[in-house]
Amino acid sequence: MRVLGVDPGLTRCGVGVVEGVPGRPLTMLGVGVVRTPADAELGHRLVAVEQGIEEWLDAHRPEYVAVERVFSQHNVRTVMGTAQASAVAMLCAARRGIPVALHTPSEVKAAVTGSGRADKAQVGAMVTRLLRLAAPPKPADAADALALAICHIWRAPAQNRLQRAAAQHAGRAPLAPNPASKGRTA
């Protein structure tokens, strides 16, 4: 199961790809940040986010995209940009028929650290350990994107299968339809 996690933002949009199944060691396939200049026009920034997400989808062909759920209770100065960047990420995935899952920040923290109120350093430390990295990914948005992907792999695999079946066809098959392959490869 290959998941692209997206920590949405206009200035820094964290992206990370993790492959694995619950109960086995996970593998990081890539991590990075899509940046757009703060002084650019909003429309152009959204186009740049779209191009960046498209490149990550092209490069890694994830089966799921996990995006942080945005709450309007957050800082009112940044929440609009976050909502807009997350809309672009969801749009890019849905256009390709890739199921999109939303996870709240506390769900993600709880998944990787055991506590929904863990701080950034704790999340970074656990992501580093779980993915057997040499050092915590920087910036924090990149680590958060990997945590989102891990959270999605670990949470509700049955729900994932249902969503995927609805979005594409029955079973755990990869994106390209392959009805002959019914065995469990994961």
Among 30, 37, 80, 116, binds its own copies (CB under 8 A): 80
Amino acid identity at 128: T
| Residue 130 interacting with its own copies (CB under 8 A) | no
Among 85, 123, 131, 148, binds its own copies (CB under 8 A): 85
Among 6, 100, 130, 140, binds its own copies (CB under 8 A): 100
Place of tokens 């792999």: 153
Task: Give the CA angle between residues 107, 82, 174 to the nearest 5°.
Answer: 60
- Residues 90-110 as b or e (16 or more Cβ within 10 Å = b): bebbeeeebbbbebebebbbb
Instruction: Please check if 119 is assigned to a binding site.
Output: no
Q: Name the token pair of 181.
A: 């392959």
Residues 6+ apart with CB under 8 A from 145: 5, 6, 7, 14, 15, 16, 31
Q: Identify whether 7 is a catalytic site residue.
A: yes
Q: Identify whether 68 is a catalytic site residue.
A: yes
| Residue 59 interacting with its own copies (CB under 8 A) | no
Residues 6+ apart with CB under 8 A from 27: 18, 19, 20, 131
Place of tokens 């152009």: 44
Contacting range for its own copies; rule: CB under 8 A; set: 14-22, 75-83, 154-162, 168-176 = 75-83
Among 21, 29, 47, 110, binds its own copies (CB under 8 A): 47
Which residues lie near its own copies (CB under 8 A)? 41-44, 46-47, 50, 70, 72-73, 76, 79-80, 83-88, 90-91, 93-95, 99-100, 102
Residues contributing to the annotated binding site for Mg(2+): 7, 68, 141
Which residues are designated catalytic?
7, 68, 141
